[in-house]
Amino acid sequence: MQDTSPFQVESLTPEPGAARLVMAGELDFTTADDASAEVAKRLAEGVDVLELDLAGLTFIDSSGMAVVMNAYSEAEERGTVFRIVALTPYLRHLLKVVALDDVLDLPG
């Protein structure tokens, strides 16, 4: 039996008008709806900045990548600044392989 980390998303307010979603565990087809709902909730609140902290993710599949890209697109449509503030080396590499490092604002 595979040992997996349950998906968790925590919403923080690092500064007024900003929302940071800290995601941990596996962001995949079974958890993507939960993550998308949290993104939608924060954007509906009218935040000026939406940040994703992805450093706690242990796995991401195409559904999880779609969550990230949809969050980016929805933020852009609303005029909300979108940033990824933390990610794993693996996820950085994955974003580079699919050429999203040119589209997304990635941390240093």
Sequence-distant (6+) residues with CB within 8 A of 53 are 20, 21, 22, 23, 84, 85, 86
Residue 2 reports pLDDT greater than 70: no
Residues of the chain with pLDDT > 90, as a percent, come to 85
pLDDT at 10 over 90: yes
- Supply the pTM of this predicted model: 0.91
Going by the DSSP 8-state scheme, the letter that residue 28 receives in this structure is S
Mean pLDDT of the chain: 93
Tell how strand 49-60 and strand 81-86 pair up: parallel
Question: How does DSSP assign 57-75, residue by residue?
Answer: EEEE-HHHHHHHHHHHHHH
pLDDT, position 1: 44
Q: How confident is the model at residue 105 (pLDDT cuts 50, 70, 90)?
A: confident
pLDDT at 85 over 70: yes
Instruction: Compute the Cα dihedral for 49, 70, 23, 90 and give only its sign.
Output: negative
Three-state DSSP at 103 gives coil
**According to the model, what pLDDT value does residue 83 have?**
95
Tokens 């939608």, located at residue: 40
Class of domain 8-102 as given by CATH = alpha beta
pLDDT of 92 above 80: yes
* Cα–Cα distance measured from residue 82 to residue 69, given in angstroms and rounded to the nearest whole number: 10
